[in-house]
Amino acid sequence: MIFVVVVAICVSFFINTAKLQTELYQDAKKYAEEINEQVASNIAYRMHTDMQLIEELAETISAVPDISMYSHILERKRKTFELDDIVIFNQDTVIFPSNYSIDLFSKWLTKNPEASEKSTISYMPGNQILFSVPIKKGDREKEAIILAMKSYYGIQKVMARENHQDEGISFLMEPEGGLIVNPVGECELTEDEVAYLRGKIAAAFRSRMKDNHMVNQSFTIELQDGEKMLISAHLLDINNWVQVSITPWSLKEKEYSYHLVMYFWLIMLASIVGTGIVAYIISLQRQARMKLEKMAYSDLLTGGITNDAFQIQCLDYLNATGWSSYAVIYLNLCNFKYINERWGVNGGNDVLRHIYHTFEKNIMEDELVARSEIDHFFLLLRGDSEDQIRQRILHMIEVLNASSCAYLLDYKLEFIVGGYMVEQYGMVLQSLQDNARRAAQFAEEKNICVFYNAAVIKKIERENKLNDLFEDSLQNHDFQVYLQPKVYLQEDRPCAAEALVRWIHPEEGVIFPSDFIPLFEQNGKICKLDFYMFEEVCKILVRWRNENRPMSEVSVNISREHLKGMDVSFAHRYCEIKEKYQIPDGIIQLEITETSMFYAPQLPCVIEVIGIFHQGGITCALDDFGFGYSSLSALNEFNINTIKLDRSFFVNESKKSRIVVENMIRLAHDMDTQIVAEGIEEEEQVQALRELGCDLIQGYYYSKPIPVSEFEVWQDNHLQGAGK
């Protein structure tokens, strides 16, 4: 009987041991895959970010007229982007700097011929990553190539950050086996063994890619001496480069060998002790899995939890309290692109870490903070009311801006904030976060939390309905043109007008622009509406011509959404519509808002678009001038025909504002540019602007926006009055 029991126990031991080894292998593979995928993702992100920065630099260089200006620009960008060097060359010579030989770059270009046509990422073995972008001057062919060199240190630093606790090595290689970035780690492998593994990995990786099309692979390979290695290989979306991590399998086996031996001898002595050892082994296994989960759910940038871990821990806290007295908060950092441009990528990362750790210090034990995306954060806060939560968020942001951070000495961080008070038991965590995110879309003030409630739901339903009505309303011409006169002060001539859209739906009635324009700007439909309005105005001008009415100049607004993709093809479409209706040159004008013209990466695109409009006989106006922080020096560069002074100059008018307006009018006239004062409502303002020499006035003093038929009557009466 004892023999049977002993045999049963032994059999049970060996079965469990085999099962444990299998699970250990699977856990190790999963761990290797998850960690290596994070490393590969971070490497790809860094390379794409660097590539984007070099492309923007190439656009900047293409706009520089004088080669002597390269030195200042390149040196500043080199330090900001943490580059080893930046070189500009063509097929014949090195343009800058002059201390390089063209032979070196000719050889490189021979190996990388595609670099003369498009942006490329390549490498110098054991030394540097190379980022190349063709430089284009105006409408001419690509004249040169900018080549940025960056050492492997940053990539090796990412590899070392998660390197299996210094028990393995990581390196970057080509699919064919060529070594790109030298190995990082403490694994004792010779160069020959690493080269041997690269060849084996390349063959195994290609075989698995062919079989199942997976980009993340984990498998084992034996060295020539029989040593078994655990391999994780992840395919980057850059040149099909492969991020590889290698861990000796013996290291994983050693973690459990002591416990397996102890278990074997103790189980021979007594079944009770054996059972205890089994329980102990299971506990260790669970701890190991928890450790793996912790590493998989760790944000490499901030050191905090990821959004997946945030959702899991949220459920634990909510279940413990019966889903009450909690709020999920979403915070979107404003102007993060500006922060990255001003302080570089590393500076931006430091700011994100500063935000996370400040929030972490200001939450309670049963609350959470996580970075969900690049510059988005989620909080789980305790509170019984919206006001209580709102005040806590304001306090946390005040502490954030008051705390020390090298990059924020003269800059205040602001957020778009949305929240959701947890009310219903058992909701999906993703839904809670989505509700908080939706609420943030309706935030009217920075740092003030807007909660997802009945009012927000009503706005969302309203927006959904307006989106559904949009296409039919375009077809049915429910969007109507209203004209607001612009009156010439110094000349006896027909007034001009600005075309404004009014949505008059047969069932919904009048829908205010403030309800639908921000919505259509957000979802991109505003571009289609812009083309519709432009064509409707062209039809009106054709009718006036056929009726021998005065051909007044009409301006039409153009949304900054057209410029987001920095694709100038939309400008040609405007010119095609004008030509379709044979509108004379100089009769129709497009108004571009100031804010869309002073975002640095868009400047070359804006200049090109204005040039296309001028070639097509369409004049351009700069709308809302003075609303933001205008660049006076840019007015000549943009070749604007008309400047519209924002109404803020004339609200609570003072001596200083009068001086600004007077000098702005003088400057515009010196540049042969028209001035329009908008938002004018008082006779005293009209008289003052007439004395200052303002060209046109637009505002309720003369007329509000009115239907086209009423504008025609108003125009006739105005001309008769001017004649008298």
> Residue range 649-666: average pLDDT?
81
Predicted confidence (pLDDT) per residue in 455-470, tens digit: 888 888 888 999 999 9
What is the number of other CB atoms lying within 10 angstroms of the CB of residue 303?
Answer: 11
Listed residue (258, 708, 226, 292) closest to 498, CA to CA:
708
User: CB atoms < 10 A from the CB of 409, how many?
Assistant: 7
Alpha carbons 123 and 155: distance in angstroms, whole number: 12
pLDDT tens by residue, 537-559? 999 999 999 999 988 899 999 98
**Average pLDDT score, the chain:** 82
For 587, phi then psi, to 5°, come to -90, -30
pLDDT of 723 above 50:
no
Q: How confident is the model at residue 592 (pLDDT cuts 50, 70, 90)?
A: confident
DSSP, collapsed to helix, strand or coil, labels residue 53 as: helix
Nearest-angstrom CA–CA distance, 408 and 343:
10
pLDDT of residue 46: 86
pLDDT at 214: 52
For residue 397, give every residue at least 6 positions away whose Cβ sits within 8 Å of its Cβ, in sequence order, or none: 413, 414, 415, 447
Cβ 378 vs Cβ 116: under 8 Å: no
Q: Percentage of the chain with pLDDT > 90?
A: 32
pLDDT value of position 391 = 95
Mean pLDDT of 365-381: 92
Check pLDDT > 80 for residue 234: yes
For the cut 80, the answer to whether the pLDDT of residue 262 exceeds it is: no
Q: Which of 15-24, 466-475, 625-634 has the highest mean pLDDT?
A: 466-475
Quick one: average pLDDT of 62-89? Answer: 80
Q: How far is CA 394 from CA 384, 422, 717, in A?
A: 16, 20, 55
**Residues with Cβ within 8 Å of residue 634, at least 6 apart in sequence:** 597, 598, 603
Stretch (H or E) spanning 148: strand 142-151
DSSP category for residue 673: -
In this prediction, residue 203 has a pLDDT band, given cuts at 50, 70 and 90, of confident
Say what the pLDDT of residue 544 is.
94
Least confident span in 181-190, 395-404, 523-532, 608-617: 181-190
Distance CA 542, CA 554 (A): 12
DSSP 23-43: HHHHHHHHHHHHHHHHHHHHH
Higher-pLDDT residue of 521 and 652 is: 521
Q: Is the pLDDT of residue 667 over 80?
A: yes
**DSSP code, position 305:** B
Bridge partners, 98 (sequence order): none
Q: What confidence tier does 41 reach under pLDDT thresholds 50, 70, 90?
A: confident
- In whole angstroms, give the CA distance from residue 229 to residue 169: 11
Lowest-confidence region among 133-147, 159-173, 333-347, 410-424: 159-173
The per-residue pLDDT for range 625-636, each reduced to its tens digit, is 765 444 565 566
Within 8 A by CB and 6+ apart from 58, the residues are 133, 134, 135, 146
pLDDT band, very low/low/confident/very high, at 103 (cuts 50, 70, 90): confident
**Between residues 650 and 269, which one has the greater pLDDT?**
650
Residue 292: what pLDDT?
56
Whether the predicted pLDDT of 241 surpasses 90: no
Residues 6+ apart with CB under 8 A from 123: 129, 130, 180, 181
**Given a cut of 70, is residue 276 above it in pLDDT?**
no
The answer, yes or no, to whether residue 572 has pLDDT greater than 90, is yes
Phi and psi dihedrals of 634, rounded to 5?
-80, -15
Q: Which of 99-113, 584-598, 678-692 ranks highest by mean pLDDT?
A: 678-692
Closest to 179 in 3D by CA, of 231, 235, 238, 242: 242
Amino acid at 149: M
Structure tokens of 640?
């604007």
What is residue 115's predicted lDDT score, i.e. its pLDDT? 86
Can you give the three-state secondary structure of 260-271, one letter per residue? HHHHHHHHHHCH
Distance CA 60, CA 65 (A): 10
